[in-house]
């Protein structure tokens, strides 16, 4: 049996038991789960191995690439800038990034980028992996092209491109990169071990990713001309990219944040706790409520699945019921990581792991943990 380390309030014992069971059933290599209530950690657990090849254990300060769960951090940055009046979620992106207006995009608003309705889920020009590391050039290419559908009329997952769009927007507004803004505004004040752009000093403690059965966009392999294939397979991204130092160093706010469940829960509790953590107000209540302005419902054109999207987060609803409470929002990462913010219970749930499942976002392991968490609180 795998030894589970960390701390857990007794009311969350079913969550701890479910976490241990996932290891005992052979579903995990290394993983961490955390819960923050009213900005305070009540669950902080980890276990397993950080590297299956060497047997190196997953320890308290192990971090891992959490893929698209990074998007919750990028969204928090943009929501904060809006709350401070430095940008307007309903203003055109071109107000802050004039070149973006090219090719019929003058009407695309900041909220469209946050909600994956901007019509820019991929690049028109062929892209290589190395092209992804040139963030300015990749952003410029998106600014130059036309949208793939009428912006604001439908959602289509901007799995990779959202990071370039939000990153350039933040740079235009603040003069800093999004990774720097995130570090100075949230990570450092909260003592949160989460990085968008991860320096070499952290390499020794990054868990080794165990890839899924195929690259990003595997479901789109059969039709290279489809919109999902155009969005997810230009370029083809293998999960082994997580071991590439160039990938770790560059700031990709949609996809390459490195952290652990503890850090994820601490930062995102800014949202679940109404904007205030540790006596410091990061967002006003109105700034948090902006998340729940519904931007899109219906079939996601890229994921081909029902969706309900607010400002930077998926919203609780019949499409994906993530909480018994109505005011909850979430996002997940390729292969399984997830963050859920429940504003009614002032709770943030976070899960990160190194063995990836085959889904584009979270999977049954996290679902089992969330169900166990709610079970413990209702008995």
Task: Write out pLDDT tens, residues 200-236.
Answer: 999 999 999 999 999 998 765 566 689 999 999 999 9
Give me Rg for the CA atoms of the chain. Answer: 19
pLDDT digits (tens, 9 = 90+) for 11-43: 999 999 999 999 999 999 999 999 999 999 999
Determine the distance from the C-alpha atom of residue 188 to the mean position of all C-alpha atoms in its chain, rounded to a whole number.
19
Answer whether residue 377 shows pLDDT above 70.
no
pLDDT number for residue 359: 73
Q: Residue 180's CB: how many other CB atoms inside 10 A?
A: 16
Answer whether residue 300 shows pLDDT above 80.
yes
Span 136-161, mean pLDDT? 98
pLDDT number for residue 136: 97
Answer whether residue 376 shows pLDDT above 70.
no
Answer whether residue 292 shows pLDDT above 80.
yes
User: What's the number of domains the chain is made of?
Assistant: 1
Domain that holds residue 341: 4-378
CATH of the domain at 151: 3.40.710.10
pLDDT number for residue 379: 43
pLDDT digits (tens, 9 = 90+) for 69-115: 999 999 999 999 999 999 999 999 999 999 999 999 999 999 999 99
Using CA atoms, how far apart are residues 113 and 166, in angstroms rounded to an integer? 7
Mean pLDDT over all residues of the chain? Answer: 95
pLDDT number for residue 158: 98
Span 338-364, mean pLDDT? 92
Stretch (H or E) spanning 145:
none
With a pLDDT cut of 70, the percent of the chain lying above it is 97
């Amino acid at each position: 049996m795998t030894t589970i380390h960390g701390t857990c309030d007794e009311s969350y014992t079913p969550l701890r038991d479910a976490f241990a069971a996932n290891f005992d059933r052979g579903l995990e290599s290394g993983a961490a789960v955390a819960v923050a209530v009213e900005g305070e950690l009540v669950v902080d657990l980890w276990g397993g191995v950080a590297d299956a090849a060497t047997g190196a254990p997953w320890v308290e300060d192990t971090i891992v690439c959490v893929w698209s769960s990074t998007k919750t951090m990028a969204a928090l940055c943009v929501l904060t800038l809006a709350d401070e009046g430095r940008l307007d979620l309903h203003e055109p992106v071109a107000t802050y990034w004039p070149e973006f207006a090219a090719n019929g995009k003058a009407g695309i608003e900041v909220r469209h980028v946050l909600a994956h309705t901007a019509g820019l889920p991929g690049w028109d020009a062929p892209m290589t992996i190395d092209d992804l590391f040139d963030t300015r050039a990749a952003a410029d290419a998106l600014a130059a092209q036309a949208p793939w559908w009428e912006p604001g009329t439908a959602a289509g997952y901007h799995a990779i491109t959202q990071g370039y769009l939000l990153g350039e927007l933040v740079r235009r507004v603040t003069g800093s990169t999004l990774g720097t803004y995130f570090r100075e505004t949230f990570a450092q004040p909260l003592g949160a071990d989460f990085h968008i752009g991860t320096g070499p000093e952290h390499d020794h403690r990054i868990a080794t990713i165990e890839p899924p059965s195929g690259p990003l966009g595997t479901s789109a392999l059969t039709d290279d001309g489809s919109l999902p294939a155009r969005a997810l397979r230009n370029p083809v991204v293998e999960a082994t990219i997580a071991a590439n130092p160039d990938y770790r160093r560059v700031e990709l706010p949609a996809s390459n944040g490195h952290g652990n469940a503890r850090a994820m829960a601490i930062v995102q509790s800014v949202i679940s706790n109404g904007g205030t953590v540790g006596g410091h107000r990061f967002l006003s209540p109105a700034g948090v409520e902006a998340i729940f302005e519904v931007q899109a419902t219906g079939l996601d054109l890229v994921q081909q699945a029902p969706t309900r999207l607010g400002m930077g987060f998926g919203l609780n609803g019949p499409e994906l019921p993530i909480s018994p409470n109505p005011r909850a929002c979430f996002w997940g990462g390729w292969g399984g990581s997830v963050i859920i913010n429940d504003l009614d219970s002032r709770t943030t749930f976070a899960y990160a792991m190194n063995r990836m499942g085959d889904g584009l976002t979270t999977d049954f392991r996290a679902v089992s943990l969330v169900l166990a968490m709610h079970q413990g609180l209702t008995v």
